[in-house]
Structure 1
Amino acid sequence: MLALHPAAARPLPDDAALIAGFETIVFGTEIGGFFGSGRYVRKFSEPVRFYIEDRASKPRIPAVRRFIRSLGREIAGLKTGFARRERDANFFVHVVDRADYQAVGRRIYGSPFARVPGECVVRVQFGRSGIVRSDALIVSDEGEGLFQRCLIEEVLQGLGPLDDNPAAPDSVFNDGSDLTVFTRYDKIMLNMLYDGRLSPGMNLEAARALLPEIARSTRRRVR
């Protein structure tokens, strides 16, 4: 029998805690100012078309494609696919060696003098009508753990939840955790976000009226 990851064995927080965690990651921003802002629902309003740019010495395209394919199965309301041409994509996954991290990051942000933060990062361009484009920058050559963690966290954040939550028990949105899996908790967060009752541009006050029922129905459905 396969052993469960510890995050799968622990009980979920109650609905109130799920809602509090959701409000933190969806209506906040981990990196403000130049890198993002906007206290309203941020999500894709159209199918997400991924394009993978792999410049790493250790190719990662099969692993990236597997994870992306899983998103359409795990997140109800989210439609995903792969773009054959860059111009047809709205979500770009850039896989690089650490030595190229700053150069590719500056290209993503369109600033030749920027200092790109973090071990990995995602830039999300959005407005009240939804996310227009996301660029996730993933490091390949510093071990499997960091690669898997970065892949999951940055791609998920690129779908809309832009803040971290240090109170989340089993989540890649908690920088204090060492998780390298898409946990049930995080699946619930993304399924709540892509619930059709929440629309891009909705403010926190309007969303709060809907979140109790969304949390209850999502908890029952997501395993």
Structure 2
Amino acid sequence: MTCLFRRIRFVLPTCLAGVLLAGCAPNPEIATVTVPRAAQHVSPAARALLPDPNPPYTPASYQSRSLAAYYGHMQDKLLASGKLRQDTGQGVAITADQLTKDFIDIAMKDEYMRGGSGTMHRSMDSVLRRWEKPIRVFTVFGATVPPTERERANALVASYVNRLARVTGHDIQMTTRENANYYVMFMGEDDRMPFGETLKAAIPEIDPATMNVFKHTPRNQLCVALTFREQNGSPVMGKALAMIRSEHPQILRLSCLHEEMAQALGLPNDSPTARPSIFNDDEEFALLTTHDELLLRILYDRRLKPGMTQEQALPIVRQIAGELVGR
């Protein structure tokens, strides 16, 4: 029996927003949810109520260990089928026309919208969204994440943050909990429920429905990212949270990290024609590619402005793409 490995982007109302195991469990998803509420300032007193971001280690439960075996088998299947490439795709030719199309498809469209009934339907074209203020990243760990894995994850996040800052030219740095507006959370199955109860102290914008995305994550949902607007109705992003499952083996974990952090910068969607790219349902590439770096460079080019429509942005995007890869 053959099942497809795919991603689905969830966008809440009014907001910006592979190969499976034998037996065909529900298709894996990497959900990016843009919450239709403005980011709020969090007082030092509220931050003091947060749980320890680096708690004492607690061994994982049988359920968590079983999930780790499941994801390990999933990664093996994907690798055996030629998926999850870890190169940058430098051998694949990229034209200005293709890069322009990919940018519009990935940065300026909402693939899916969750309606009030929970049904999924196609959404309309959207506008350009990105961060304007500095991004400050902080890592948070669940108790079941082993200390050695925490050290490795911190190093991976810091390295990737430096890369994203270099590529975009935007001010992106690691920081302390007190100054963070982007939380990267490594959580096991045993960690999310207790942590979720106090997460609202750091991110009061989270409503119950959105909290459930974090607390009750089904196993086919590989990772989750939540992004929040700077103000109600604004195309400028003000806060983000990414949850990476600690049960993932190394490549799946790094793939989730690369995609979720890049998407939360303003590239929320997939395109079936984007190649070489992590923003493609075919799962060919696991890590940010040269093509994806070009998309980020376009997104943070100062000639583009948040809120631009496709009609406004298209000639500028076409010009920038031509400068980056030639006519």
TM-score (norm 1): 0.84
Counterpart of 1:122 in 2: which secondary structure? Answer: strand
In the other structure, the counterpart of 2:188 is 97
Deviates more, 1:141-150 or 1:48-57: 48-57
Aligned residue type for 1:91: Y
Equivalent-residue separation in structure 2 for 1:6 and 1:85 (angstroms): 32
Q: Is 1:131 matched up with 2:237?
A: yes
- 8 A Cα contact 1:101 1:139, kept in partner: no
Out of 45, 65, 89, the residue aligned to residue 7 of structure 1 is 89
The structure whose Rg is larger is 2
- 8 A Cα contact 1:43 1:160, kept in partner: yes
Q: Is 1:84 matched up with 2:166?
A: no
Counterpart of 1:210 in 2: which secondary structure? Answer: helix
In the other structure, the counterpart of 1:47 is 134
Out of 2, 13, 17, the residue aligned to residue 98 of structure 2 is 17
Gaps of 5+ in 1: none
Equivalent-residue separation in structure 2 for 1:173 and 1:39 (angstroms): 17
Deviations 1:62-81 (A, max 9, x none): 111111122112223x1111
In the other structure, the counterpart of 1:148 is 254
Gaps of 5+ in 2: 1-85, 116-122
Q: Is 1:73 matched up with 2:166?
A: yes
Aligned residue type for 2:101: A
- 8 A Cα contact 1:40 1:128, kept in partner: no
Using the TM superposition, give the Cα deviation of residue 168 of structure 1 relative to its aligned residue in structure 2, in angstroms.
1.0
Equivalent-residue separation in structure 1 for 2:277 and 2:317 (angstroms): 19
Q: Is 1:184 matched up with 2:296?
A: no
In the other structure, the counterpart of 1:122 is 225
Deviates more, 1:41-50 or 1:65-74: 65-74
Counterpart of 2:269 in 1: which secondary structure? Answer: coil
Identity of matched residues, %: 26
Using the TM superposition, give the Cα deviation of residue 218 of structure 1 relative to its aligned residue in structure 2, in angstroms.
2.7
- 8 A Cα contact 1:7 1:170, kept in partner: yes
Give the length in aligned residue pairs. 214
Equivalent-residue separation in structure 1 for 2:194 and 2:278 (angstroms): 26
Aligned residue type for 1:27: M
Aligned residue type for 1:9: G
Using the TM superposition, give the Cα deviation of residue 29 of structure 1 relative to its aligned residue in structure 2, in angstroms.
2.7
Deviates more, 1:186-195 or 1:209-218: 209-218
Deviations 1:162-216 (A, max 9, x none): 1111221111111312423221000001100000011111111110121111111
Structure in which a larger fraction of residues adopt helix: 1
